[in-house]
Amino acid sequence: MVDVSGKPDTVREARARVTLRLKPATLRAIRRGEVVKGDVLGVARLAGIMAAKRTAELIPLCHPLRLTGIDVRFALDPARSAVHVETAVRTVDKTGVEMEALTAAAASGLAIYDMVKAIDRGMRLTDLCLVEKSGGRSGHWVRG
């Protein structure tokens, strides 16, 4: 693990996203609240938050951080038959929160998969990526 003890605490934020491609009927069931397991997006939001908080336990060499905010948002996209998940994680600490944002997005996507796999096993999680990060020595970065 990299020693960050000499670095100052700074405000840091990262945003990540993932897309789930699924059948139109599956997307309708999510939108209408007709999934047998319950509130798909509510469970996925909670999964993302919990995953961000436990990132250091899941990713070797990742520093445990004092997270100050975690947002998980969803956009239902009927034209592409997709659910877009976007996460934002904030901290005031010595190292960035990119891994926490990515972990939150991945866990949210996996929770959606788990909630609806009985009706659509062919779903795909695609395009997991960092969208933006700010703070720290490397400054602000935005995916082009």
Q: What's residue 22's pLDDT?
A: 98
Residue 143 domain-assigned?
no
CB of 49 within 8 A of CB of 109? no
Extract the tokens encoding 123.
């779903």
Residue 103 domain-assigned?
yes
Count the alpha carbons within 13 Å of 102 in the hemisphere toward its beta carbon. Answer: 16
Residue 5 domain-assigned?
no
Percent of the chain with pLDDT over 90: 95
Q: What's residue 53's pLDDT?
A: 98
Residue 114 domain-assigned?
yes
Residue 144 domain-assigned?
no
Average pLDDT over residues 7-12: 94
Residue 119 belongs to domain spanning: 11-137
How many structural domains compose the chain?
1
Residue 115: pLDDT band (50, 70, 90) is: very high
128 Cβ contact partners less than 8 Å away, ≥ 6 residues apart: 16, 17, 18, 102, 105, 106, 109
Extract the tokens encoding 112.
């959606």
Residue 73 domain-assigned?
yes
Residue 143 CA from chain centroid, whole number: 16
Q: Is 90 exceeded by the pLDDT of residue 137?
A: no
**Which residues have a catalytic role annotated?**
114
84 Cβ contact partners less than 8 Å away, ≥ 6 residues apart: 17, 18, 19, 74, 75, 77
Residue 6 domain-assigned?
no
CA distance 94 to 63: 9
CA distance 142 to 144: 6
CATH number for the domain harbouring residue 54: 3.30.70.640
**Angle at alpha carbon of residue 69, lines to 47 and 116, rounded to 5°:** 20
Residue 84 domain-assigned?
yes
CA distance 128 to 137: 24
Amino acid 44 reads A
Q: What's residue 15's pLDDT?
A: 98
Average pLDDT over residues 108-121: 97
**Angle at alpha carbon of residue 104, lines to 90 and 66, rounded to 5°:** 35
